Structure 1
């Protein structure tokens, strides 16, 4: 591999019948940039038509994870100092990439090893063959930075069993391998020490067979035994009622979830609940992505996103000052405004 290839933000190479895409910003936990999205898009378009490629595999450079999400600092700076159009263009291409991955005509094997969050979920969990390991931590943590789950996250979470997806969406909590499988965010567990052998097998063996050779059963998760209180509490109509039920349930984990939600952006958690519930009624990933694009463009111009990224990523004081500061101050009209067509300068469309 040449020095130029090593420094590229996405490493693209072919081994036998498999095309490999390696997200290559390990110091930034492979956070996605606009150039990375364009490389992924153009390469997938070419490989979809290439008869020499049977399988595509996505992985991340370094030891920490596949991808921690989008380049939040760049979005923060654009929202604070610019007019937001650069971030809107990034989302336009990113969400279209998510849709391409979902409908990719060949096996798309996502190595969801380590941290997989936000945009990392978007480039992996829509694939046809999603592999997690004992090191996997999968999450959509957007409510903690004054944002709302995107990249098709509300589509995935809205289709998790019962109210598990609502719980993960509002709290921003991460899940390990077993719970990712339970929630429909992954398909197979492969121990991390077998990943290299799996990657090598993809060169000559069909993806389904290669994964079967190395798959195993993960250790038990935590969500299955929490279904009773999760399904009851999160079935409430409003965030305020969800929090009340969680606090009154008598379950320590439920009380902790209530406290977690109350620490998030009040606007974000209310819009997130509405987004997940609307996503349940939308018939396709593309329709949900179009909804998320409208919501994201509105959130970009609200104060909480800039403040949340400042507190969590930039200054790291972990003390965001949300505006408004309480759930009760976030009106139904404010929430509805995130879903209005005028929220984006243009509607997201797909080829």
Structure 2
């Protein structure tokens, strides 16, 4: 079975639409290294092919676009062969994943991501940078890395920090889920279509009269998707609780924010679930997310991804990620034993995660964006 299925759909005038399908329905299309490599290579080829007018990326099945990276396989490799940073398996996976994410952000052709169903972690990394991000009423989006001792990577350090009222940081600290209406509000999506409209969208793309000038293709895709919008009203928890989130995040320090959330009495299930996310999540992840927002305020996307690779390989050389994945996905006891509690998070501990494990000039993503 191919990790990603590729097809070209003819649409007249010598043009075609490239279709890429993440092909692991049983794992909710969890992102693996073979998937990353296959998709990256095909995106390069399609970008250079003048007959391809746009690309569509989706996931197999109806349940998920992509539920995130295959962290169970990564954890298994780390447990089998413990090493100091940079572990070669972690370095290879994350560096190639982040290179793919960067390519999507900079892609020179319209790239439609069909974000139906579950879109989490690495799946959001694929979707966030696409030129046309399509959601449905069934879309469920989250960056729940605090539950496994990681942090919102795949460019999350860049796009979460650009959300209003520190909502991105709130999402990082709590792992709170978003729906399609939330995603539009927070610039994680562009269009909402009916859940069953995927085939109709492909048909419309193939029947579309594509302008002769490729510079007009992105506008054409926006017009097409706009004409298919599903106008069913969706409640946005983020919009409904905007003032509450802003107040909670305006406490001054991480300790104060956690205390404010812990002491709050929430009747709303969405807020209550978010509260449990931070109180049971990894304290080091929360402190890293807080520090990431401070450090990335004026960084480029390429610089942020370089920082994320440093963080990710350092985290893989410590215990919280291994323990978090064990508790949530392997033993499933949901009782992680984090390496440090809330009262043990000093600056030296957090800063050490940002120390490059590579010699000067040898960072694997040194050429990104150059």
Query: What interval of TM-score do these two structures reach, taking the shorter chain for normalisation?
Result: over 0.9
Q: Could you say which residue in structure 1 is the equivalent of 2:322? A: 306
- Partner of 1:193, secondary structure, is coil
What's the counterpart of residue 80 of structure 1? Answer: 79
1: CA distance, partners of 2:311 / 2:252 = 20
Aligned to 1:123: 126
RMSD of Structure 2 on Structure 1 (CA): 1.7
> Greater CA deviation, 270-279 or 260-269?
270-279
- In structure 1, what is the Cα distance between the partners aligned to 2:272 and 2:104? 38
Distance 2:248 2:358 in 1: 31
1:85 Cα deviation after fit: 1.0
Matched, 1:213 2:227: yes
How far 1:249 sits from its partner (Å)? 4.5
Query: Which of 3, 11, 16 in structure 2 is aligned with 1:9?
Result: 3
Q: Distance in 2 between matches of 1:280 and 1:215?
A: 34
Work out whether 1:111 is the aligned partner of 2:111.
no
Structure 2 match to 1:195: 198
Paired positions, count? 343
- Determine the C-alpha separation between the residues in 2 that align with 1:302 and 1:51: 46
Displacement after TM superposition at 1:119 (Å): 0.7
User: Corresponding residue for 2:291?
Assistant: 274
Change (3 A) 1:59 1:297: same
What is the aligned counterpart of 1:323 among 319, 335, 339? 339
TM-score, normalising length from structure 2? 0.89
Q: Aligned partners of 1:227 and 1:347: how far apart in 2?
A: 39
CA contact (8 A) 2:146 2:277 kept: no
Three-state SS of the structure 1 residue aligned to 2:165 is coil
Provide the residue aligned with 1:262 in structure 2.
279
Partner of 2:304: 288
Alignment of 1:1-351 (within 5 A): 7-16=1-10, 17-82=16-81, 83=83, 84-205=87-208, 206-217=220-231, 218-253=233-268, 257-282=274-299, 284-324=300-340, 326-342=341-357, 346-349=363-366, 350=368
* 3-state SS in 2 of match to 1:109: strand
Counterpart Cα distance in 1 of 2:126 and 2:161:
18
Unaligned runs of 5+ in 1: 1-6
Structure with more contact order per residue of length (Cα contacts < 8 Å, sep ≥ 6): 2
Structure 2 Cα separation of the partners of residues 189 and 144 of structure 1: 29
Q: Which moved more, 1:70-79 or 1:93-102?
A: 70-79
SS at match of 1:21: strand
Return 56-65 or 220-229, whichever deviates more: 220-229
Distance 1:255 1:73, change over 3 A: closer
Tell me the CA shift for residue 234 of structure 1. 1.3
Say which is worse superposed, 166-175 or 51-60, in terms of deviation: 166-175
Task: Name which of structure 1's ranges 269-278 and 169-178 shifts more when overlaid on structure 2.
Answer: 269-278
TM-score of the pair, normalised by structure 1: 0.93
**In structure 2, how many angstroms separate the alpha carbons of the residues matched to 1:134 and 1:123?**
19
Gaps of 5+ in 2: 11-15, 209-219
Tell me the equivalent position of 1:4. Answer: none
In the alignment, is the contact (CA less than 8 A) between 1:56 and 1:108 conserved in 2? yes
- Following the alignment from structure 1 to structure 2, what is the Cα–Cα distance between the partners of residues 98 and 285? 10
